[in-house]
C-alpha cells in the first residue's frame, strides 16, 4: 500500500472508530464540540499497523534511540513503533513516562528501561495520540530531560490545532503531526 493510500485508510479508521461530535471536556480543561479518542484506533489490528507504519516512516531518518511519551496515549504507539522498527531492521526502543511514579516497587517515572539502561545522551522522540495545548507531551519532555535524554522532536497522531504548535515552538521543540483536526472537521 502506498503512503498516501495508507494515510487515507488510517483517516477512515480514525473517523469511524475515534472521532466524534458532542460537548466534551478535554485533558487541558477546555470544552470542545468534537473529540478524538484514539485508543479504539491504536488497539484495532489494522489501525495499529497503519499508525506504526506511518509513524515509523515519519521518524526513520531522525537517527533516534528511543520513542516514548506520557501514559496512556503513548504506550500502544511506542510499543507498535518499537516492534515495527525491529522488523524493518532499524530498531528504536520504547519507554513511557508515568503521570506520577508508583508508590511501591522501583518508583520509576520512566518505565521500560532495563536495569542499568538510561536515557542519558540518547536521541528521543516524544509521541502522543492527540495533542491540544501540548501540556501532556511537555510533562513527558520534562521527565526525559531530567533523565538526561535529548528530545529530537514531538510527534502526535492528531493535532487539534489549539495551541500545541506555539507551545512547542516556545519550548524550542520541533513538532510534527500525522493529521490535523481540520482534516476530520470538514465533511
Binding residues for 5-phospho-alpha-D-ribose 1-diphosphate: 98-99, 102, 104, 128-136
CB 131 within 8 A of CB 156: yes
User: How many CA atoms lie less than 13 Å away from 2 in the CB half-sphere?
Assistant: 3
Residue ranges at the known binding site for orotate: 132, 160
CA–CA separation, 132 and 12 (whole Å): 21
CA–CA separation, 20 and 120 (whole Å): 40
Q: What are phi and psi of 153, to 5 degrees?
A: -170, 170
List, in order, residues 6 or more apart from 97 with CB less than 8 Å away: 68, 69, 70, 71, 74, 109, 110, 111, 139, 140, 143, 144
Write the CA distances from 20 to 32, 50, 159, integer angstroms: 11, 20, 15
**Residue 99 grid coordinates:** 503521570
CB 127 within 8 A of CB 77: yes
Residue ranges at the known binding site: 98-99, 102, 104, 128-136, 160
Amino acid at each position: 500500500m502506498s503512503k498516501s493510500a495508507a494515510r487515507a485508510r488510517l483517516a477512515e479508521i480514525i473517523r469511524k472508530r475515534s472521532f466524534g461530535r458532542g460537548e466534551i471536556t478535554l485533558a487541558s480543561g477546555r470544552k470542545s464540540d468534537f473529540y478524538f479518542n484514539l485508543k479504539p484506533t491504536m488497539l484495532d489490528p489494522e489501525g495499529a499497523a497503519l499508525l506504526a507504519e506511518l509513524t515509523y516512516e515519519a521518524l526513520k531518518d531522525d537517527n533516534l534511540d528511543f520513542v516514548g511519551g506520557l501514559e496512556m496515549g503513548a504506550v500502544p504507539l511506542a510499543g507498535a513503533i518499537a516492534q515495527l522498527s525491529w522488523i524493518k531492521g532499524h530498531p528504536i526502543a520504547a519507554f513511557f513516562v508515568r503521570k506520577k511514579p508508583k508508590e511501591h516497587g522501583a518508583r520509576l517515572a520512566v518505565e521500560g528501561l532495563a536495569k542499568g539502561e538510561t536515557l542519558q545522551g540518547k536521541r528521543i522522540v516524544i509521541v502522543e495520540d492527540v495533542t491540544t495545548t501540548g501540556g501532556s507531551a511537555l510533562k513527558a519532555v520534562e521527565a526525559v530531560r531530567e533523565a538526561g535524554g535529548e528530545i529530537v522532536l514531538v510527534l502526535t497522531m492528531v493535532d487539534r490545532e489549539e495551541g500545541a504548535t506555539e507551545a512547542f515552538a516556545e519550548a524550542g521543540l520541533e513538532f510534527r503531526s500525522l493529521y490535523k483536526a481540520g482534516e476530520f472537521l470538514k465533511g
